[in-house]
Amino acid sequence: MKALVKVAPGPGVELIDVPEPTPGPGDVLLRVLRTGICGTDLHIDSWDEWAARTIRVPLVLGHEFVGEVVAVGAAVTKVAVGDLVSGEGHLVCGTCRNCLAGRRHLCAHTIGVGVHTAGAFAEFTVLPEANAWVHRHEVDLDVAAIFDPFGNAVHTALTFPVLGEDVLITGAGPIGLMAAAVARHAGARHVVITDVSGPRLELARKIGVSLALDVSSAAVSDVYGELAMTEGFDVGMEMSGQPSALREMIANMTHGGRIALLGLPAREITVDWSAVVLKMLTIKGVYGREMFETWYAMSVLLQAGLDLSPVITHRFHHTEFTEAFATARGGRCGKVVLDWES
C-alpha cells in the first residue's frame, strides 16, 4: 500500500510502498478515506529540534483521520466491518491510576499515533478498538477526518461554562476557529478572536464571531466600547502559544475570570502573576480530548447544527502532499484535508 513516510532523519517525507498492516486481536483495520494535516505533521516534515529528539524513523505520519472498517480482530466486539470510524490518536496504558479511574485523557504513559507508532497517512491503518469512534449519524467525511483537532477545540471551549459569557480567544488557527464556533453555539454573549493573519481573521468572521481583531494594529482593550463591555472577559482560551497573547489575555480578564490554555509555547512565558492573584483568575491546561465524553459532545454539536465547513479551506489528493503541506505551513488557510480514495 501507499503511505506518507518519514524515511530518514532530515527534512521531507516520501510517498512510498509499505506493507499493509495486520490487525491484532483487539484491533480494527481501516481503509483510510480522509486525513487532516496537523502542525505536528509539519514539525516532523521539517525535522525541527522536537522532531529530531522524538521521532524514530522510518515512521508513517498522520493522526487525524477517518476510515471504513474492512477487518476486525478476533477479540473485537463493538466495532463491525463497514463502520465509519474516526480515530482517537492517544494510546493510553489502561493500568495507571487515571486510566483505571476512567480519566484516560490524563494517562501519564500516553503515546501518539503517527508520532510514536505508525500513523494514518496511508491507504490502510490499524487502530485499537478502544480508540475507534464509530459515527452513528451522517457526517461529512472531511469533518470526520478532523475529529481529533475538533476534539481539542471542544475540550477547550467547554472547559468552563460559556453561556452568556464574554469569551476571548487568542489565536485564529483551525483549533481556535473551531473553538470560536463552539463557544457561539454554546451561547456565549460575545466571542472575540485575535490574530495577526488577515486570512484567518476573515475565516473567523465567516464563522460568526462578534469581533476578529488584528492585534498587530489594535489592543484587546479597544473592543470594550464597541461591545458595551465594562469589566473584561469572563472566559479566555489561549490557542497561540505566544507570550504576548497570554499576557494580553490576563490583562483583559475580569475578576474571577477563567482561562483555558491549549497553545504550546516554544519558550518560557513571563506573566504578571500578581494580576492572576489579585483578580483571582483560574488557569487550566488543556490537552487532547476527554475519552470519550468530548467525542460524544462533538457528535451532538454536529447533530445540533454546528457548521465547521468554513474551517476546512483546502482539499488535496494524497499524491499532492507536497502542495498540501506547503499550504498548511503557509498559514493563510484553515484546515487542510488529504483524500485517500482512488
Which residues are tagged catalytic? 40, 43
What is the residue whose three cell numbers read 484546515?
Answer: 335
Is 312 marked within a binding site?
no
Question: Cell 477563567 identifies what position?
Answer: 258
**Is 341 known as a binding-site position?**
no
**Is 195 annotated as ligand-binding?**
yes
- Is 182 labelled a binding residue? no
d(CA 312, CA 42): 17
196 is in an annotated binding site: no
Where does residue 8 rank: exposed (0-12), middle (13-18), buried (19+ CB within 10 A)?
exposed
Does the annotation list 99 as a binding residue? yes
Alpha carbon distances (Å) from 265 to 177, 240, 241, 269: 19, 8, 4, 8
Q: Distance (Å, rounded) from C-alpha 190 to C-alpha 183?
A: 9
Beta-bridged to residue 191, according to DSSP, are 167
What grid cell was written down for 104?
484516560
- Pick the closest to residue 91 from 113, 118, 114 (CA basis): 113
302 is in an annotated binding site: no
Separation of alpha carbons 7 and 15, rounded Å: 10
175 is an annotated ligand-binding site residue: yes
Label residues 135-151 b or e (16+ Cβ within 10 Å = b): beeebebbbbbbbbbbb
Residue 54 pairs with which residues in a beta bridge?
none
Q: How far is CA 172 from the centre of its chain?
A: 12
Q: Is 107 annotated as a binding residue?
A: yes
Output the known binding site.
38, 63-64, 93, 96, 99, 107, 175, 195, 200, 262-264, 286-287
Output the known binding site for Zn(2+).
38, 63-64, 93, 96, 99, 107
Output the known binding site for NAD(+).
175, 195, 200, 262-264, 286-287
